[in-house]
Chain A
Amino acid sequence: EAQVTQNPRYLITVTGKKLTVTCSQNMNHEYMSWYRQDPGLGLRQIYYSMNVEVTDKGDVPEGYKVSRKEKRNFPLILESPSPNQTSLYFCASSAGQETQYFGPGTRLLVL
């Protein structure tokens, strides 16, 4: 089954404790993105990647890092999480210009 998977789905952590949210797609897509969703703000892009080893900042990259060492994986790293990074995070992938496929989302709470 073609899909985008994210782990963990739910995470509660404390300020400053490094964490990684994994994202994997099995569709051989070149493009992958991370978004965060906050009430009243819709989804905003954090980082995106056009291929292996090619990444760039989106609209809200501060406090986040990404890497793209393999085509299928695009982990999101929070080196020192803060409460304002409490949010719902989505990973997405696409092959071309039409459809982006979203993962199931990761709900993060930073205390």
Chain B
Amino acid sequence: AQKITQTQPGMFVQEKEAVTLDCTYDTSDPSYGLFWYKQPSSGEMIFLIYQGSYDQQNATEGRYSLNFQKARKSANLVISASQLGDSAMYFCAMRVIQGAQKLVFGQGTRLTINP
């Protein structure tokens, strides 16, 4: 069965520090996609970054990068130079079943940035 595991229920980081949010996944499908979403206290789901299973390079989007280690089945999110506005819930998700657009989500990590 496909599964996403986020082992850090909460993290506290000083402003301007880099932070790594852990995500491991489990699937037997050779073709899959990995996503990270941010959910601020207002509740909306904001797409951050995407990594395809066949992508050779790690995905980057501004201050966000995805540390993709296929052999270890991990897809950690790295946020560089954290800001107070980064405080939110972060979800790792995996797309399974080509064409069906089903996302399987982890339980999330609550990130708090301290000034």
Interface of A is mostly: strand
Q: Are A104 and B50 in contact (CB under 8 A)?
A: no
A45 interface contact, C-beta 8 A: yes
Give the distance to chain B from A64, nearest Cβ to Cβ, in Å.
Answer: 15
Chain B residues within 8 Å of chain A by Cβ, number: 24
| Distance between B35 CB and nearest chain A CB, rounded to angstroms | 7
CB pair A58–B102 under 8 Å, yes or no, is: yes
A79 cross-chain contacts in B, Cβ below 8 A: none
A interface residues (Cβ-Cβ under 8 A, vs B): 31, 33, 35, 40-45, 48, 50, 56, 58, 88, 90, 92, 94, 97-102, 104-105, 107
Chain B: residues with CB nearer than 8 A to chain A?
A: 4, 33, 35, 37, 43-45, 47, 50, 52, 91, 93, 95, 98-108
